[in-house]
Amino acid sequence: AQKITQTQPGMFVQEKEAVTLDCTYDTSDPSYGLFWYKQPSSGEMIFLIYQGSYDQQNATEGRYSLNFQKARKSANLVISASQLGDSAMYFCAMREGPILTGGGNKLTFGTGTQLKVEL
Amino acid sequence: EAQVTQNPRYLITVTGKKLTVTCSQNMNHEYMSWYRQDPGLGLRQIYYSMNVEVTDKGDVPEGYKVSRKEKRNFPLILESPSPNQTSLYFCASSHPARGDTQYFGPGTRLTVL
């Protein structure tokens, strides 16, 4: 079974609108972390936001928020007030297990959602 | 500026010609990793290193080697590249703070003819 599932291969949104990118995950470990990365056409991977499995509140970073629904095993990314520069591929990723002392848990990635922001 | 650097950014080579992709980080991170990205497959881990002289295989290690002689550097070596290693390669490093967030280099686009 897929550990990270992103069911939307592509999405369109109008500038200044909010958009939600879906991510569901599968793990039996009570301790895990969820990440979102942005990959613009230039290719680099840019970290956006992190949510720990024990965090009580949904993570927010500027215009990005993570809608974390633990019982449903979903971690959707919400981008408010979309901008043309938000057009990119977005990846959801998961770290399973507690954070190791020196770091270094493996990340498992979804296949991504291509977002296109239109005027 | 805290960053992960990779070189070269682009490389076209021929089958069997040994190559090395360098990776360096200036954040004093213990953990470093290599991924490859292929269309429709997301990112897959090739090798990782927990610290100097400590490396281990990821999900797709065949055809690759790594070394970690210094904390800041983690080169990826392709001893005899083949066309199925044509891909976009990323180096990453992380620290336990902030959930062990991994920070990625700019990527190396490799074509093996």
pLDDT attached to residue B97: 73
Q: Return the minimum-mean-pLDDT range out of A12-26, A73-87, B37-51.
A: B37-51
Contact B50 A102 (CB under 8 A): yes
Contact B69, B96 (CB under 8 A): no
| Cα–Cα distance measured from residue B31 to residue A6, given in angstroms and rounded to the nearest whole number | 27
Cβ pair B32, B23 in contact under 8 A: yes
Q: What residues of A are in contact with residue B61 (Cβ under 8 Å)? A: none
Cα radius of gyration (chain A): 14
Residue-wise pLDDT for A41-87, tens only, equals: 999 999 999 999 999 999 999 999 999 999 999 999 999 999 999 99
CA atoms within 13 A on the CB side of B26: 5
Higher-confidence residue of B106 and A104: namely B106
Q: What is the pLDDT of residue B2?
A: 80
User: Alpha helix (H) ranges present in A1-119?
Assistant: none
Nearest chain A CA: its distance from B26 CA (Å): 16
What mean pLDDT, rounded, does chain A reach? 93
Scored b (16 or more CB within 10 A) or e, A72-94 reads eebbbbbbeebeeebbbbbbbbb
Rounded CA gap, A9 and A51, in Å?
A: 23
Residue A103, pLDDT above cutoff 70:
no
CB atoms within 10 A of CB B50: 18
Residue B98 pLDDT more than 80? no
A38 contacts in chain B (CB < 8 Å): none
pLDDT bin (cut points 50, 70, 90) of residue A101 is low
B 74-113: CB under 8 A from A: 88, 90, 92, 94-96, 98-107, 109
Nearest C-alpha neighbor of B92 from the set B2, B4, B1: B4
Distance (Å) from the alpha carbon of A82 to chain B's nearest alpha carbon: 24
Task: With a cut of 90, say whether residue B99 has pLDDT above it.
Answer: no
- The verdict on a CB contact (< 8 Å) between B33 and A91 is no
The pLDDT value recorded for residue B110 is 97
Residue A1 reports pLDDT greater than 70: no
d(CA B94, CA A103): 6
